[in-house]
Amino acid sequence: MSESSIPFPDIDPYQVLQVQQSVSETELRKCYRKLMLRYHPDKTKDWTPEAKEKFHKIQFAFEILEKFRDVYDKTGSVEACFNGTDLENWKDLFDTDVVIDKDTIEQDKVKYRGSSDETQDICDSWRSNEQEKPKKRYVPDEDQFALLFQEIPHVEANEEDEGYIYDRVSKMLKDGLIQDNNGSFARWTQNRAKYLKGLQNRLAKEAKLAASMLSDMKSKSQPVDDEDQLRQLIQKKNKTSFDSLISKLESQAVAKGQRKGKKNKRAHAEIDDEEFAKLRAKVTKRRG
């Protein structure tokens, strides 16, 4: 079979699905589902060819790991997974728009909310984000409760969803399914509106910075794969402090501007090629 007949012969399915090679089948399906919800057409403002390709890559990567994982793990080759197989089904898949719209998303939301899957997702997120030495002050990117808005499907940082997830976590705490060892829920309870607003501001700031950095990347003709790596870093999935990244980039840009005798009002937009290369290297290192 020729390599050209394979839709995406050079992808790394683990990277596309943002999982480690040791991921369990259950966790793999969970990550796939979350990505499908995140990148479906209804959540993408501009359903561009690039967005459509991203959506299809997620599907394709999951099919590889679901059906041909052993072969891929042994060979590291997507092409090897399809030796002796018929790709007609793949062509049908990618030549047809996937039917995911507001109705299907709402149906999935109704099915998911209150389900055992949601309960397990909340438990997993809560426990994985528990800190041995929790910070006393509220930090959106490190707070157990705040991170639920970024990690649980069908939960957005708005008042309606805040009310839902607050009641859900409250009941799970009372039922003993999770414990508030870090005091995250107790702290959120003290000033829910304030902390929600802080989370909304942080997410908006990260989205703006992400757009700027991705724009820089495209203008510098950087590889497309780095877009996902930057998004993972910016969206705080790796639990590192985003503040340190912002501060460093801004201080570097300001210092550079001062050396030139100019004021810099948009520090993060003034990253030169060398600084950008260093950032890319750090992103790749952290991803591993």
Domain boundary among 95, 127, 158: 95
Please determine, for residue 119, whether its predicted confidence score (pLDDT) is greater than 70.
yes
Please determine, for residue 56, whether its predicted confidence score (pLDDT) is greater than 90.
no
State the pLDDT at residue 241.
38
State the pLDDT at residue 278.
55
Q: Indicate the pTM of the whole model.
A: 0.55
Q: Average pLDDT in the 269-288 region?
A: 50
Q: Is 104 a domain residue?
A: no
Please determine, for residue 3, whether its predicted confidence score (pLDDT) is greater than 70.
no
Please determine, for residue 194, whether its predicted confidence score (pLDDT) is greater than 50.
yes
Q: Look up the CATH number of the domain holding residue 30.
A: 1.10.287.110
Taking the CB of residue 13, how many other CB atoms lie within 10 A of it? Answer: 24
Q: Average pLDDT in the 93-110 region?
A: 64
One domain, residues 132 and 171: yes
State the pLDDT at residue 288.
45
One domain, residues 146 and 84: no
Residue-wise pLDDT for 145-191, tens only, equals 999 998 888 898 999 999 999 999 999 999 999 999 999 999 999 99
Share of the chain above pLDDT 90, in %: 25
Taking the CB of residue 29, how many other CB atoms lie within 10 A of it? Answer: 15
State the pLDDT at residue 114.
93
Among 178, 189, 162, residue whose Cα is nearest residue 126: 178
Q: Is 195 a domain residue?
A: no
Residue-wise pLDDT for 213-246, tens only, equals 766 666 665 554 444 555 554 554 333 334 444 4
Taking the CB of residue 3, how many other CB atoms lie within 10 A of it? Answer: 11
Please determine, for residue 249, whether its predicted confidence score (pLDDT) is greater than 70.
no
Domain hosting 138: range is 113-190
Q: Is 121 a domain residue?
A: yes
Please determine, for residue 64, whether its predicted confidence score (pLDDT) is greater than 70.
yes
Please determine, for residue 77, whether its predicted confidence score (pLDDT) is greater than 50.
yes
One domain, residues 234 and 169: no
User: Taking the alpha carbons of 124, 128, 129, 131 in that order, is the dihedral positive or negative?
Assistant: positive
One domain, residues 57 and 87: yes
Q: Is 108 a domain residue?
A: no
Band of pLDDT at residue 7, cut at 50, 70 and 90: confident
For residue 38, CA distances in Å to 12, 55, 82, 121 come to: 19, 9, 28, 16
Name the domain count of the chain: 3
Q: Taking the CA atoms of the chain, what radius of gyration do you get in angstroms?
A: 21
Chain centre distance of CA 57: 15
Domain boundary among 168, 190, 212: 190
DSSP assignment of 225-248, as one string? Answer: HHHHHHHHHHTTTT---HHHHHHH
State the pLDDT at residue 160.
96
State the pLDDT at residue 275.
53
State the pLDDT at residue 271.
45
Domain boundary among 95, 127, 161: 95
Residue-wise pLDDT for 33-42, tens only, equals 888 777 776 6
Residue-wise pLDDT for 43-55, tens only, equals 555 566 777 788 8
3-state helix, strand, coil in the chain (%, to 5): 65, 0, 35
Share of the chain above pLDDT 70, in %: 61
